[in-house]
Structure 1
Amino acid sequence: MTKHPRGPRLALWAALGLVLIVAALWAAVWALNVRGESPMPAGDAAPFVATPQQVERGAYLARAGNCAGCHTARGGAAYAGGLAIETPFGTVFSSNLTPDPATGLGRWSAAHFWRAMHHGRSMDGRLLYPAFPYTDYTLVTREDSDALFAYLRSLPPVAQARPAHALRFPYDTQAALAVWRALYFEPARFEPEADRPADWNRGAYLVRGLGHCSACHTQRNALGASDLGLPLGGGLIPVQNWYAPSLRSADEAGVAEWSTQDVVDLLKTGRSARGSAMGPMAEVVARSTQHLNDADLNAMAVYLQSLPQHGARRPRAAQADVAAAGPADSRGAKLYEQHCAQCHGPAGEGAAGLYPPLAGNRAVSMDSAANLIRIVQGGGYLPATAGNPRPFGMPPFAHVLDEADTAAVLSYVRGAWGNDAAPVTPLEVLRLRPGALR
């Protein structure tokens, strides 16, 4: 009896089916990556002629987006790129935004620049890495994009090629980036909400778009995508290991209960009656928000104050209770008395206008102790601004306090004078140092 070769045929059909499935998935990835894009005009684009008003407007918007913060290497020319941006997947280098024709934007058109902002593509069509926050900049209007381009084209050209990215496989491939974008990115436009006042909509546009506040203040998943389930809900900044506190929690950085003026003061000077800016936020204030006009700062404050607050607020220590500290003979108490009490007071009361109180301070009692560890180890500095040109700062203590000492003094502070936060362990101090793997 003749046997039919069913086995080989089944294997062939299975292989063919697998190929078709892969092809269908890749077609879906491709379609998701080009959705909303218009074909670029063929041939040479018409020369871009900017008005003085556009250039002036673009300079303002560049400060609002803190573009120089990432596109200027230390000691390098402004906007010439080359800054190394460390990520969990390797190192990305920022690009040259000056109008140099060989290494910068000299051969770009306004349409190319708009596509980069709105769709995350380079002039040659390559997909850009989201270290450039086009996931937020996609909300920027074409008018503002053109103004930014006009300003950048007005800069002195600097011939400086971008160093090659140093990413691990497969993150260094366009295929992996295309899959990431298919999963986590969709071009969008800012749509004002008709039932909201004009200043709220302006604030929402700045915070969600050019301000790209979600880039730090939103938790990221294992693939580096922001958790859109709770935007601005707080998150640890990868590699830097600073914690950007939740703007939706009164126990962290929510400002719903602040006055609008207190929020404006913080963004304009780095200090207000209710708090101060340190770490990465101090850089944002110094390079960006202090340069914004009062109308935009007020609009951002109005929007931030409107964010729904999540979680139960932790009770704060009453002023009468600040003397009730933890065990006076503890190691942490002795370290605090030796190194901290001179500025922050024996009862954590601080000094008005100089040193912040630690008793009842939500920055002390947040669940995450990352920022306290960074400040004790590396120092804490407010930004120098026009409204606060000579800020007081805290020196680093890494050369004085080891991991165990840092954990001890922070555990004491987080449990003293009515504070009720969890203690800190030496292992936590090790894990939350800059660049430490988690």
Structure 2
Amino acid sequence: MKRLRRWLLLVVVVAVLLGGWMLLRSGSAPVSREASRIDAATLKDPALIAKGEYLTTVGDCAACHTAQGGARYAGGRVTATPFGDIPAPNLTPDRETGLGDWSFEDFWQALHSGKGRHGELLYPAFTYTSYTKVSHDDALAIYAYLQSLAPVQQTTGPLGLEFPYNVRASLNAWRALYFKEGVYQADTSKSESWNRGAYLVQGLGHCNECHITRDALGGMRSDQPLSGGQIPVQNWYAPDLSTQANGGLEGWSEQDIVDLLKTGHSGKGTAFGPMAEVVARSTQHMQENDLRAIATYLQSLPARSATPPQELPFDTKTLVSQGTKVYAQQCASCHGKNGQGVAGVYPPLDGNSSVNEPTGINAIRVVLLGGFPPVTAGNPRPYSMPPFAQSLSDNDVASVVSYIRQAWSNKAPPVRADDVGKYRHTPID
């Protein structure tokens, strides 16, 4: 850890020097103020505002920019990261604490370039790494909608980052490594639906921000997007989204994907944890053609390499044998003897992406803390799974999770009681 911090300090020094050089090189050249040509009548166009409201919902902006019990989009919610806490700003048009004095150019610069109103580099907890792909017209619609909101005065709290992460100039180095600015460019060899899906997934939907493995500096792999990864701090695993061989959604049909995003429940599985919140706040409100476009794009993701068997330093045979008994006593009455579930009520466990994800985190947490699908218009009274933290020991949970991860067609590695202990007292979100 000390070696890493020394290396980071060196990165910060280099980044500060690089930032200063870039500032001197850029000089004081005037910046184009395109926003000044956008008149007030345009921003008050009801059709543009309605489009912006829809796109803001697609982007799930309320998730970060609305505090629990607070005014919508007024900020106040803190995003926890491995590097410290980052408060989300106020997006309402309050002139003192929100976006009231922001021009569209200011807003576009933040969304597209990851820079604040005064040119300061923004921390990538604000996912401009994906939002950069949003088109100029869509950004204008979002801006018009946010400017139409009632202003709410709410000050953004201070950054909770420690050195060296609180040195903004260090972001020059991070951006050079991980950020590629640019609006989405359509692939003319693909269909209109595929391109719409790619635009939504890669841009406003910012799906890769969760469904990817990150390195020690929070950077995302660029060679295999949407290939799954553990969500930092939250301790959930966002599965691989490929529907092809060895993908996290292997065997999912277009309708399975649409159903999950629309209702939180499908014939292949149910949305729990952070994804349940995404469905409740965002995807259930999306238009049918957009949901199908997303499914079209996800189904085009490539097959994945098979994971080689692991040498495990514990007795899996005894563990799985005990899990068979626990499953029969506690789980089979709902999920079925063969893990098939009950259509529209209890999700199947055979082939379930949350069961088969590489770490076992999702299955452990659901057994311990319960499973709570989102309430949606298409599924207004979902069946929830009760928590078993009080009735099952760490060894019992490890045994039953290991059993279902290896039963039927599932081929995921087992988990240990130590793994269960790590998440027994972890909050649900």
TM-score range, shorter chain: 0.7 to 0.9
Which of 403, 409, 415 pairs up with 2:394?
A: 403
Measured at CA, do residues 425 and 313 of structure 1 come closer, stay the same or move farther in structure 2, by a change above 3 Å?
closer
| Structure 1 counterpart of 2:121, one-letter code | L
- Report what 2:291 is aligned to: 297
Measured at CA, do residues 395 and 118 of structure 1 come closer, stay the same or move farther in structure 2, by a change above 3 Å?
same
Larger mean Cα displacement after TM superposition, 419-428 or 160-169: 419-428
Larger mean Cα displacement after TM superposition, 365-374 or 61-70: 365-374
- Report what 2:6 is aligned to: none
State how far apart, in whole Å, the 1-side matches of 2:145 and 2:395 are.
50
Does 2:254 match 1:254?
Answer: no
- Report what 1:61 is aligned to: 55
Q: Note the alpha carbon deviations across 1:353-393, whole angstroms, 9 max, x for none.
A: 21123244443233220110121122112211111111111
| Structure 2 counterpart of 1:217, one-letter code | H
Does 2:18 match 1:26?
Answer: yes
Kept in 2: contact 1:359–1:417 (CA 8 A): yes
Alpha-carbon deviation of 1:295? 1.2
Q: Note the alpha carbon deviations across 1:196-253, whole angstroms, 9 max, x for none.
A: 1111111111010000000011111110011111111111000111111111354443
Unaligned runs of 5+ in 2: 1-9, 309-316
SS of equivalent residue, structure 1 residue 217? coil
State how far apart, in whole Å, the 2-side matches of 1:168 and 1:432 are.
26
Does 2:414 match 1:423?
Answer: yes
- Report what 1:180 is aligned to: 174
Does 2:332 match 1:341?
Answer: yes
Kept in 1: contact 2:93–2:152 (CA 8 A): yes
Kept in 2: contact 1:283–1:383 (CA 8 A): yes
Alpha-carbon deviation of 1:177? 1.9
Measured at CA, do residues 102 and 382 of structure 1 come closer, stay the same or move farther in structure 2, by a change above 3 Å?
same
Kept in 2: contact 1:328–1:334 (CA 8 A): no
Kept in 1: contact 2:130–2:203 (CA 8 A): yes
State how far apart, in whole Å, the 2-side matches of 1:82 and 1:428 are.
34
State how far apart, in whole Å, the 2-side matches of 1:263 and 1:89 are.
34
Does 2:255 match 1:264?
Answer: no
Which of 311, 319, 323 pairs up with 2:305?
A: 311
State how far apart, in whole Å, the 1-side matches of 2:209 and 2:69 are.
25
Larger mean Cα displacement after TM superposition, 165-174 or 273-282: 273-282
Alpha-carbon deviation of 1:313? 9.2
Does 2:209 match 1:209?
Answer: no
| Structure 1 counterpart of 2:228, one-letter code | G
| Structure 1 counterpart of 2:71, one-letter code | A
- Report what 1:10 is aligned to: none
- Report what 2:222 is aligned to: 228
Measured at CA, do residues 274 and 127 of structure 1 come closer, stay the same or move farther in structure 2, by a change above 3 Å?
same
SS of equivalent residue, structure 1 residue 85? strand
SS of equivalent residue, structure 1 residue 91? strand
| Structure 1 counterpart of 2:248, one-letter code | A
Question: TM-score if structure 2 supplies the norm length?
Answer: 0.86
State how far apart, in whole Å, the 2-side matches of 1:245 and 1:380 are.
17
- Report what 1:3 is aligned to: none
| Structure 1 counterpart of 2:385, one-letter code | M
Q: Note the alpha carbon deviations across 1:285-306, whole angstroms, 9 max, x for none.
A: 1111111111111111111111
Q: Note the alpha carbon deviations across 1:139-188, whole angstroms, 9 max, x for none.
A: 00111111000000111111000111111211111122222112211211
Alpha-carbon deviation of 1:397? 1.9
Q: Note the alpha carbon deviations across 1:109-138, whole angstroms, 9 max, x for none.
A: 000000000011111221111111000000
Measured at CA, do residues 79 and 23 of structure 1 come closer, stay the same or move farther in structure 2, by a change above 3 Å?
closer
State how far apart, in whole Å, the 1-side matches of 2:188 and 2:21 are.
34
State how far apart, in whole Å, the 2-side matches of 1:52 and 1:181 are.
37
How many residue pairs are counted as aligned between the two chains? 403
Does 2:69 match 1:75?
Answer: yes
Kept in 2: contact 1:29–1:182 (CA 8 A): no
State how far apart, in whole Å, the 2-side matches of 1:415 and 1:28 are.
56
Q: Note the alpha carbon deviations across 1:10-50, whole angstroms, 9 max, x for none.
A: xxxxxxxx9xx96996169837x98xx98253998976441
Alpha-carbon deviation of 1:394? 0.8
State how far apart, in whole Å, the 1-side matches of 2:369 and 2:319 are.
26
Alpha-carbon deviation of 1:430? 3.4
Larger mean Cα displacement after TM superposition, 99-108 or 393-402: 393-402
Percent identity between the two aligned chains: 50
SS of equivalent residue, structure 2 residue 158? coil
Larger mean Cα displacement after TM superposition, 144-153 or 329-338: 329-338
SS of equivalent residue, structure 2 residue 381? coil
SS of equivalent residue, structure 1 residue 393? coil
Measured at CA, do residues 408 and 115 of structure 1 come closer, stay the same or move farther in structure 2, by a change above 3 Å?
same
State how far apart, in whole Å, the 1-side matches of 2:331 and 2:143 are.
48
Larger radius of gyration: 1
- Report what 1:7 is aligned to: none
State how far apart, in whole Å, the 2-side matches of 1:335 and 1:96 are.
49
Kept in 1: contact 2:131–2:204 (CA 8 A): yes
State how far apart, in whole Å, the 1-side matches of 2:405 and 2:110 are.
45
- Report what 2:113 is aligned to: 119
SS of equivalent residue, structure 2 residue 219? coil
- Report what 1:167 is aligned to: 161
| Structure 1 counterpart of 2:128, one-letter code | Y
- Report what 1:394 is aligned to: 385
Unaligned runs of 5+ in 1: 1-17, 315-325
Does 2:404 match 1:413?
Answer: yes
| Structure 1 counterpart of 2:382, one-letter code | P
State how far apart, in whole Å, the 2-side matches of 1:141 and 1:403 are.
49
Question: TM-score if structure 1 supplies the norm length?
Answer: 0.84
Measured at CA, do residues 401 and 24 of structure 1 come closer, stay the same or move farther in structure 2, by a change above 3 Å?
closer
Kept in 2: contact 1:250–1:313 (CA 8 A): no
